[in-house]
Amino acid sequence: MAEQKKKESNGSLVLKLATASLLMFGFGFAMVPLYDVFCEVTGISSSSTRVAAEPVALETDYDRTVTVEFASSNNQRDLWSFRPEETRMQVHPGKLYTTHYLATNLASEEQIGHAVPSVAPAGATRYVQKVECFCFDEQRFAGEESKRMPVLFYVDPALPSNIGTVTLAYSFFAQQKLSEQ
Walk me through the domains of the chain, giving residue ranges and CATH numbers.
Answer: 47-180 (2.60.370.10)
β-partners of residue 120 are 167
Rounded to an integer, the average pLDDT of 87-99 is: 96
Residue percentage of the chain with pLDDT more than 70: 78
* pLDDT: which is higher, 119 or 176: 119
Query: Sorting pLDDT into bands at 50, 70 and 90, what band is 40?
Result: low
Structure confidence at residue 33 (pLDDT): 63
Structure confidence at residue 173 (pLDDT): 87
| pLDDT tens digits, one per residue of 100-155 | 999 999 999 999 999 999 999 999 999 999 999 999 999 999 999 999 999 999 99
Instruction: Provide the whole-model pTM.
Output: 0.68
Structure confidence at residue 181 (pLDDT): 47
84 preceded by a cis bond (ω within 30 of 0)? no
Q: Cα 140–151–86 angle (5° rounding)?
A: 105
Query: Sorting pLDDT into bands at 50, 70 and 90, what band is 25?
Result: low
Rounded to an integer, the average pLDDT of 41-60 is: 56
Rounded to an integer, the average pLDDT of 41-50 is: 48
* pLDDT: which is higher, 50 or 152: 152
